[in-house]
A and B are shown apart, each in its own frame.
Chain A
Amino acid sequence: MARNYIDNDTEFVARGSVSVDMILSDGSRVENLEPRRLFPVNYSEKYISLLDADGKEQAIIRDIAALSEQSAAVIRNSLSEYYIIPKITKVIQVYEKGSINRWTVMTDRGKCSFLIKTRYSDIKPFPDGRVLIRDSNDNRYEIPDVSKLDKHSMRELNSQI
Chain B
Amino acid sequence: MNINGILINKEIPEELFEKLLKVRAEVCESEEKILFAIVGDLTLEANYGTTVFAVTDKRSFTIDEEGKLLCSMLHEHVDKAKVKRMYGNARLIVTDKEGKDIVLFRFTYSVATLCDMAADYLEDMSHGEDAAHAYDAVAAGYEKAMLYCPKCGRRLLHAGAECIACQSKRRIWGKLLRFAKPELPNLILCMLLSLVTTGISMLLPTMTANLVDEVIPSKDMQMLLKVVSVLLSAYLLQLALGIIRSYRLRISATNIVTFLRNSLFAKTQKLSMRFYDKTTTGSVINRVNGDSNTIEQFMIRLSQEVVVQIFTLVGIAVIMTAKNVQLALITLLPIPFIVIGTRVFGKKILPYHRKVWRRWAAVVSNLTDTLPGVRVVKSFSAELRSSGIFSSYTSEWQQVDRKSARISTAFPNFVSFFVHLGQLLIWGIGGAWVIISNLTGTAAASDAIAFAGGTVTLGTLVSFISYASMFYGPVNFFANFNDSYQNALASAERVLDILDAEDEADRGKGNCPEMRGKIEFKNVNFSYDRTKMTLSDINLTIEEGDIVGIVGTTGSGKSTLVNLLMRFYDDYEGKILVDGINIRDIDLSYFRRQIGFVQQESMMFRDTVFNNIAFSNPDATIEEVFSAADIANAHEFIARLPDGYDTLLGERGVGLSGGERQRVSIARTVLMNPRMLIFDEATASVDSETESLIQGAIEGLIKGRTTIMIAHRLSTLRKANKIVVLDKGKILEMGTPEELIAKKGKYYKLIQIQTMAEKAEAEKKEERFE
A→B interface (CB under 8 Å) = 1, 3, 5, 36-42, 47, 49, 51, 55-57, 60, 117-118, 121, 138
Q: Given known contacts A39-B610, A121-B651, what 19 new A-B pairs fall within 8 Å (CB)?
A: A3-B623, A3-B626, A3-B627, A37-B644, A38-B638, A38-B639, A39-B644, A39-B645, A40-B646, A41-B643, A41-B646, A47-B622, A51-B640, A55-B640, A56-B636, A57-B635, A60-B626, A118-B652, A138-B653
In whole angstroms, how far apart are the Cα atoms of A56 and B610 in the complex?
20
- State the main secondary structure of chain B at its contact with A: helix
Residue of A nearest to B646 (CB): A41
Q: Is the CB of B642 within 8 A of A40?
A: yes
- Shortest distance between the CB of A53 and any CB in chain B (Å): 13
In whole angstroms, how far apart are the Cα atoms of A160 and B645 in the complex?
27
| Neighbouring B residues of A37 by C-beta, 8 Å | 644
B183 close to chain A: CB less than 8 A: no
In whole angstroms, how far apart are the Cα atoms of A55 and B652 in the complex?
24
Q: Is the CB of B643 within 8 A of A40?
A: yes
| Neighbouring B residues of A1 by C-beta, 8 Å | 630
Residue of A nearest to B700 (CB): A1
| Neighbouring B residues of A5 by C-beta, 8 Å | 623
- Shortest distance between the CB of A150 and any CB in chain B (Å): 29
Residue of B nearest to A42 (CB): B646
Q: Please give me the 8 A-B residue pairs with the lowest Cβ-Cβ distance, nearest first.
A: A41-B646, A38-B644, A49-B639, A39-B646, A38-B645, A40-B643, A39-B645, A57-B639
Q: Is the CB of A49 within 8 A of B627?
A: no
Residue of A nearest to B630 (CB): A1
In whole angstroms, how far apart are the Cα atoms of A117 and B652 in the complex?
11
Residue of B nearest to A124 (CB): B648
In whole angstroms, how far apart are the Cα atoms of A121 and B610 in the complex?
18
Q: Is the CB of B639 within 8 A of A36?
A: yes
| Neighbouring B residues of A38 by C-beta, 8 Å | 638-639, 644-646
In whole angstroms, how far apart are the Cα atoms of A118 and B639 in the complex?
27
In whole angstroms, how far apart are the Cα atoms of A51 and B608 in the complex?
22
In whole angstroms, how far apart are the Cα atoms of A5 and B626 in the complex?
11
Q: Residues of B within 8 Å of A, CB-based: how many?
A: 20
A-B contact count (CB 8 A): 44
| Neighbouring A residues of B639 by C-beta, 8 Å | 36, 38, 49, 51, 57
| A–B Cβ pairs within 8 angstroms, 25 of them | A3-B623, A3-B626, A3-B630, A5-B623, A36-B639, A36-B644, A38-B639, A38-B644, A39-B610, A39-B646, A40-B642, A40-B646, A47-B622, A49-B639, A51-B640, A55-B636, A56-B636, A57-B635, A57-B636, A60-B626, A117-B652, A118-B652, A121-B651, A121-B652, A138-B653
| Neighbouring B residues of A51 by C-beta, 8 Å | 639-640
Encode B9-24 as 1/0 by CB contact (under 8 A) with A: 0000000000000000
Residue of A nearest to B622 (CB): A47
- Shortest distance between the CB of A57 and any CB in chain B (Å): 5
In whole angstroms, how far apart are the Cα atoms of A40 and B646 in the complex?
6
- State the main secondary structure of chain A at its contact with B: loop
Q: Is the CB of A40 within 8 A of B627?
A: no
- Shortest distance between the CB of A124 and any CB in chain B (Å): 9
| Neighbouring B residues of A49 by C-beta, 8 Å | 639, 644
Residue of B nearest to A49 (CB): B639
Given A3-B626, A3-B627, A57-B635 in contact, is the A40-B640 Cβ separation under 8 Å? no
Residue of B nearest to A138 (CB): B653
Residue of B nearest to A50 (CB): B639
| Neighbouring A residues of B643 by C-beta, 8 Å | 40-41
| Neighbouring B residues of A55 by C-beta, 8 Å | 636, 640
- Shortest distance between the CB of A59 and any CB in chain B (Å): 11
| Neighbouring B residues of A36 by C-beta, 8 Å | 639, 644
- Shortest distance between the CB of A4 and any CB in chain B (Å): 12
- Shortest distance between the CB of A38 and any CB in chain B (Å): 4
Residue of A nearest to B631 (CB): A1
- Shortest distance between the CB of A78 and any CB in chain B (Å): 16
Chain B 601-615 residues near chain A, CB threshold 8 A = 608, 610
In whole angstroms, how far apart are the Cα atoms of A158 and B626 in the complex?
39
| Neighbouring A residues of B638 by C-beta, 8 Å | 38
In whole angstroms, how far apart are the Cα atoms of A49 and B636 in the complex?
10
| Neighbouring B residues of A47 by C-beta, 8 Å | 622, 645
In whole angstroms, how far apart are the Cα atoms of A60 and B432 in the complex?
97
Residue of B nearest to A56 (CB): B636
Residue of A nearest to B640 (CB): A55
| Neighbouring B residues of A39 by C-beta, 8 Å | 610, 644-646
- Shortest distance between the CB of B609 and any CB in chain A (Å): 10
In whole angstroms, how far apart are the Cα atoms of A41 and B641 in the complex?
13
| Neighbouring B residues of A3 by C-beta, 8 Å | 623, 626-627, 630
| Neighbouring A residues of B608 by C-beta, 8 Å | 41
- Shortest distance between the CB of B647 and any CB in chain A (Å): 9
In whole angstroms, how far apart are the Cα atoms of A39 and B625 in the complex?
13
| Neighbouring A residues of B652 by C-beta, 8 Å | 117-118, 121
| Neighbouring A residues of B644 by C-beta, 8 Å | 36-40, 49
| Neighbouring A residues of B622 by C-beta, 8 Å | 47
In whole angstroms, how far apart are the Cα atoms of A51 and B639 in the complex?
9
In whole angstroms, how far apart are the Cα atoms of A57 and B640 in the complex?
9
In whole angstroms, how far apart are the Cα atoms of A49 and B644 in the complex?
10
In whole angstroms, how far apart are the Cα atoms of A3 and B627 in the complex?
8
Encode B684-699 as 1/0 by CB contact (under 8 A) with A: 0000000000000000
- Shortest distance between the CB of A26 and any CB in chain B (Å): 23
In whole angstroms, how far apart are the Cα atoms of A54 and B180 in the complex?
62
- Shortest distance between the CB of B696 and any CB in chain A (Å): 11
- Shortest distance between the CB of B610 and any CB in chain A (Å): 7
In whole angstroms, how far apart are the Cα atoms of A42 and B609 in the complex?
12
- Residue of B622, B626, B639 ringed by the most chain A CB atoms within 10 A: B639
Residue of A nearest to B643 (CB): A40
- Shortest distance between the CB of B80 and any CB in chain A (Å): 59
In whole angstroms, how far apart are the Cα atoms of A118 and B627 in the complex?
35
| Neighbouring B residues of A40 by C-beta, 8 Å | 642-644, 646
In whole angstroms, how far apart are the Cα atoms of A49 and B639 in the complex?
7
Residue of B nearest to A121 (CB): B651
| Neighbouring B residues of A42 by C-beta, 8 Å | 646
Residue of B nearest to A60 (CB): B626
Encode B647-671 as 1/0 by CB contact (under 8 A) with A: 0000111000000000000000000
- Residue of B627, B642, B644, B646 ringed by the most chain A CB atoms within 10 A: B644
- Shortest distance between the CB of A79 and any CB in chain B (Å): 12
In whole angstroms, how far apart are the Cα atoms of A57 and B637 in the complex?
10
| Neighbouring A residues of B651 by C-beta, 8 Å | 121
- Shortest distance between the CB of B533 and any CB in chain A (Å): 47
In whole angstroms, how far apart are the Cα atoms of A160 and B586 in the complex?
50
- Shortest distance between the CB of B187 and any CB in chain A (Å): 32
| Neighbouring A residues of B645 by C-beta, 8 Å | 38-39, 47
- Shortest distance between the CB of A75 and any CB in chain B (Å): 16
Chain B 548-578 residues near chain A, CB threshold 8 A = none
| Neighbouring A residues of B642 by C-beta, 8 Å | 40
Residue of B nearest to A51 (CB): B639
- Shortest distance between the CB of A83 and any CB in chain B (Å): 9
| Neighbouring A residues of B636 by C-beta, 8 Å | 55-57
In whole angstroms, how far apart are the Cα atoms of A35 and B735 in the complex?
52
| Neighbouring B residues of A60 by C-beta, 8 Å | 626
In whole angstroms, how far apart are the Cα atoms of A82 and B351 in the complex?
64
| Neighbouring B residues of A57 by C-beta, 8 Å | 635-636, 639
Residue of B nearest to A55 (CB): B640
| Neighbouring A residues of B640 by C-beta, 8 Å | 51, 55
- Shortest distance between the CB of B630 and any CB in chain A (Å): 6
Residue of A nearest to B639 (CB): A49
| Neighbouring B residues of A41 by C-beta, 8 Å | 608, 643, 646
In whole angstroms, how far apart are the Cα atoms of A41 and B643 in the complex?
7
In whole angstroms, how far apart are the Cα atoms of A55 and B610 in the complex?
20
Encode B44-71 as 1/0 by CB contact (under 8 A) with A: 0000000000000000000000000000
In whole angstroms, how far apart are the Cα atoms of A72 and B636 in the complex?
24
- Residue of A38, A60, A117 ringed by the most chain B CB atoms within 10 A: A38
